[in-house]
Amino acid sequence: MAGRGLPMLQPQIILLKEGTDASQGRGQLLSNINACLAVVDTVRTTLGPRGMDKLIVDEKGEITISNDGATIMKLLDIVHPAAKTLVDIARSQDAEVGDGTTSVVLFAGELLKEVKGYIEEGVSPYVIIKGYRKAAQLAINKVKEIAVKIEQDNKDEFRDLLLKCSKTAMSSKLIHSHKDFFADMVVNTVLTLDQEELNEKLIGIKRVPGGAMQDSLLISGVAFKKTFSYAGFEQQPKYFKNPKILSLNVELELKAEKDNAEVRIEDVNEYQAIVDAEWSIIYSKLEAIVKTGAKVVLSKLPIGDLATQYFADRDIFCAGRVPAEDLNRVVNAVGGSIQSTCSDIEEKHLGTCESFEERQIGGERFNLFNGCPAAKTCTLILRGGAEQFIAEVERSLHDAIMIVKRTIKNNLIMELSKYLREYSRTIEGKQQLIIGAFARALEIIPRQLCDNAGFDATDILNNLRMKHAHGNIWYGVDINSESVADNFEAFVWEPALVKTNSILAATEAACLILSVDETVKNPASEKPQAGPPMPRGGMQRALRGGRGRGIPRR
């Protein structure tokens, strides 16, 4: 019992396991902001037509050269828990829209940078969060207000719009010097699909090293590389018109007898009957396939040399070990269904197309299915000098394809900044400062475009502010003339969804990071280290408190 006037000692409560790292308070919040700014500095220079590429080498030694924000963020292998939020918003932007991944990371980092001083001065994070969410909603409403909707009644005008959107998406990519060629290819690709579904999974992309970029081609159908072939394959026909196509998940290969299998027989004839039974099984499968009338037989599983020669003698083309993704695209395109047995195959199970051929493209042979009636699909075959280069072309075309899926043109970011600046002057209190900070953060996009191109950012931003103050809402940075220009007339167009999704994702990420004031990191579980072997009798002497060999007295 404590004496009179002596304070009661509070019992110590151990809540977390020993070794747990717990950081909290304003210092932890500022640390999270600094980590996010470090990530932003990594991708900052990749923005825009004059953006630089990053060369990333993973732990396996594989090299990736890219300026795509989502690709870079995914390969950086960020370990800081707060900075991983920026990776998530880059991936969500890539999945939802396909473009603007660098912009959304840059904008989120600038939102945090603008309020870092307020946090240091003691402003509550929730005051900032409230202001940011209000500003984001105002910005999105403004985007919807001034966005221009293009009707699809006039097909020529609509196609022209899609071409301009595609070229805008490619302007910051590795293929910007050939954007006229690839923009036409991308628009034809998207228009090939069903205009109601616009399922980009029906677009196949194949890489063939060698040749120039202009050797890339668009196949209005399905194409996949020639699979592993057996003896007799070269005797098969390589071209058909309106063939029936059978897709299987059946192995058509004669298996060797198991030497270690136990089969009790009394004479040699019985063993021969077993062997004959195996031959009769595969021949019955082959005969059933021939009776269906199919001229092209595809299977996920191997088609051996016996079956290959059998089909060649009957003018049937076959391909085994077809990748599941390619076979599914073929079935979606030509119709029918994948059969897991060779019996009871009916006409409805077969597909067809206008023509099938095997063609040499570069150093590879491809099986091409053209004029597919069941589903509108296509395949892009990309050419280029190096594998890394072709991979970057594929990423660039993916962004352009996702952009062309949308048809609404959008304004430039500077108009939103002007609108929010003017709105912030109409309100009182701390919210005026927060919305003003949001408006300044929006200017990071044109400022970074100028920095990456080597322009005087201060001078060009002053010109932009002047133009927007006089009501020229479409003015933006002109990289070619090192000045400002009307981007409506210059056809720098993109869907409104790019900007609205960027604003929402960046704001949510910034608010999430600002709402965290404590990080608790559990210790890594470690296996106990095995110490040196204890001498005989040492444990007993240690327990008695004696001095064992190598064991100090406690």
- Which tens digits make up the pLDDT trace of 265-300? 777 777 777 777 778 888 888 898 998 889 999 999
Structure confidence by residue, pLDDT tens digits, 164-199: 888 888 877 778 888 888 888 888 888 877 666 667
Per-residue confidence (pLDDT) for residue 438, from 0 to 100: 92
486 and 349 in one domain?
Answer: no
368 and 235 in one domain?
Answer: yes
**Can you give the three-state secondary structure of 525-545, one letter per residue?**
CCCCCCCCCCCCCHHHHHHCC
Question: At residue 224, what are phi and psi to the nearest 5 degrees?
Answer: -145, 155
In this prediction the pTM is: 0.69
**Residue 388 counted as domain residue:** no
Instruction: Choose the final residue of a domain: 374, 404, 437.
Output: 374
Tally of domains in the chain:
2
d(CA 112, CA 237): 64
Give bridge partners of residue 384 from the DSSP assignment: 209, 210
List of residues 6+ apart from 483 with CB closer than 8 A:
460, 463
* CATH code of the domain covering residue 339: 3.50.7.10
430 and 348 in one domain?
Answer: no
Structural domain range at position 463:
21-149+412-515
510 and 442 in one domain?
Answer: yes
**Residue 536 counted as domain residue:** no
* CATH code of the domain covering residue 135: 1.10.560.10
Least confident of 384-393, 400-409, 528-537: 528-537
Burial letters for 488-527: b for 16+ Cβ neighbours within 10 Å, e otherwise? Answer: beeebbbbbbbbbbbbbbbbbbbbbbbeeeebeeeeeeee
**Residue 175 counted as domain residue:** no
Radius of gyration of the chain (CA): 33
- The more confidently predicted of residues 327 and 200 is 327
450 and 353 in one domain?
Answer: no
* DSSP-derived secondary structure letter, 303: B
d(CA 246, CA 346): 10
State percent of the chain over pLDDT 70: 84
Structure confidence by residue, pLDDT tens digits, 507-526: 999 999 998 877 777 766 55
Instruction: Choose the final residue of a domain: 346, 374, 402.
Output: 374
Please check the confidence at residue 154 and state whether its pLDDT lies above 90.
no
120 and 27 in one domain?
Answer: yes
364 and 234 in one domain?
Answer: yes
